[in-house]
């Protein structure tokens, strides 16, 4: 948790986030977060793992695309 917060303090993170976080992407992330919540709520471990894995891969692709466009 501390490492994630440390990354969030860097200016490069802020610049990439500003490029990536459009209203549409925020809505997509919220849908992914809701799907993760539902998987956890229903104790569906396989679904939770799949959702979080897909979400992290998606977010990484978006951030790497923003980084290469800089």
pLDDT in tens, 24-63: 988 999 999 999 999 999 999 999 999 999 999 998 888 7
CA distance 68 to 42: 39
The answer, yes or no, to whether residue 13 has pLDDT greater than 80, is no
pLDDT of residue 65: 77
Taking every pair of Cα atoms in the chain, the longest distance, rounded to a whole number of angstroms, is 41
pTM of the model: 0.68
Joined tokens for residue 49: 């793992």
On the CB side of 23, CA atoms within 13 Å amount to 0
- Which range of residues forms the domain containing residue 19? 2-68
CB 20 within 8 A of CB 11: no
pLDDT of residue 2: 74
Domains contained in the chain, number: 1
């Amino acid at each position: 948790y501390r490492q994630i917060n440390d990354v969030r303090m860097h200016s490069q993170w802020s610049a990439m986030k500003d490029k990536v976080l459009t209203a549409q992407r925020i809505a997509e992330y919220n849908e992914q977060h809701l799907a993760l919540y539902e998987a956890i709520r229903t104790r569906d471990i396989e679904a939770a793992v799949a959702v979080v894995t897909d979400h992290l891969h998606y977010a990484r692709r978006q951030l790497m695309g923003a980084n290469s466009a800089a």
